[in-house]
Amino acid sequence: MDLVLTEDQEFIRKTAADFVEEKSPVSRFRELRDKQDATGFSRELWKEMADLGWAGIPYAEDVGGADMGFAELAVVLEELGRALAPEPFLSTVLLAGQALALSGNQALAKEWLTKICAGEAVLAVAYQEARSRYDLDAIETQAVKDGTGFKLSGEKVQVLDGHVADAILVSAKADGGVKLFLVPAGAAGLTITRQARLDDRNAALVALDGVSVGADAVVGDGALLANVVDRATVGLCAEMLGGMQQALDLSLEYLKTRKQFDVVIGSFQALKHRAADVFIEIELCKSAVMAAARAIDAGAPDTAKLVSVAKAKCSDAYVLATNEGVQFFGGVGMTDEYDIGFYMKRARAAELSFGDAAFHRDRWATLSGY
């Protein structure tokens, strides 16, 4: 499990970097934000990304996937993170896709993974509630037995890409445990309201009022959901890694050109040392993300601990890189015109998804037996 990119991974990285530079600069994200785009991302570009094989990277060939792993997926997500690309990777490929791929419900998995890999479906996972915080089990949504199926009632918040999803995987309490159900977008009793978040990513309130699903809608249980969220966390960390590197690159460019007191401000030691510290933290994140992705691919016994290392480090480092970034830029860093603010907002949103550093410290300690 070497922490170095293989030739294939290096090729994927280059392809993704070129794609992002040509088709998805941050200005594209800014345009979507400015016009309050109803979809919030580009369906055409999403299709192109799927055609490049990215949506199917971790999925089997018989559903149209590439049968590769998180090591490869992380490389793509890192490049997309650099450009804040808002396409539905996290919701569709990482959360819903992983849930389906790990599910014993083969019929559902085959149907939806084929569409996911082809870029023909957007899916969402509704696991979060107003007071559940990061605890996947602390939910109030109920699944009540109804004949052979279930009736779902409850309210989910900040469901990523929920407003455009073709289907939503909903977690609910059933028989004392948690189960995950697939609910088609048009189901009766389902109300979806778009939410506006600081990072301008797509999110929605999902209200369920006695939504009926069959027994064949069950995707998995609470253990499956926890596993899925761990995997999605590594994907998010890869995105964060790209974002923090871009934030540092933007900062360095500014430090090398902005003049005050007749010299470029990057010559000031006070700023150099802050930049050096950001660099070091990013280097640690790189190693942590690579190790966590490879652990998932290898099914390593310490995977959960490595996921916590990655998320704890990336949460703090992305916030550091962007907080420092705004400070490096000075007054213009506070203006909407400069991109660094986008990264600071995204850093916060990412930090507070799937557990912040404090959450993962607690989890590390618990997993370590203290």
Binding site for other proteins (CB under 8 A): 2-4, 252, 255-256, 264, 266-267, 269, 271-273, 275-277, 279-280, 283-288, 290-291, 305-306, 308-309, 312-313, 357-358, 360-362, 364-366, 368-370
Task: Report the nearest approach of other proteins to the CB of residue 5 (Å).
Answer: 9
Contact 112, 167 (CB under 8 A): yes
- CA–CA separation, 116 and 122 (whole Å): 7
CB of 306 to other proteins, least distance (A): 8
Q: Which is nearer to other proteins, 198 or 263 (CB)?
A: 263
Cβ(310)–Cβ(291) below 8 Å: yes
Cα-only R_g, the chain? 21
| E-state strands within the chain | 123-126, 142-146, 149-160, 167-174, 177-184, 190-196, 202-213, 218-221, 259-260, 263-264
The rounded Cα 165 to chain-centroid distance in angstroms is 16
- State the DSSP code for 63: G
**CB atoms near residue 282 (< 10 Å):** 20
Q: How far is the CB of 88 from other proteins (least distance, A)?
A: 29
Q: Which is nearer to other proteins, 42 or 245 (CB)?
A: 245
Structure tokens at 296: 């998932």
Which C-beta is closer to other proteins: that of 155 or that of 277?
277
- Residue whose structure tokens are 């997926």: 73
Shortest reach from residue 266's CB to other proteins, in Å = 4
- Pick the closer one to other proteins by CB: 14 or 145: 14
Smallest gap from Cβ 181 to other proteins, in A, equals: 33
Nearest approach, Cβ of residue 286 and other proteins (Å): 7
Q: Give 151 or 294: the residue with its C-beta nearer to other proteins.
A: 294
Tell me whether residue 2 or residue 175 sits nearer to other proteins (CB atom): 2
DSSP per-residue letters across 260-275: ETTEEGGG-HHHHHHH
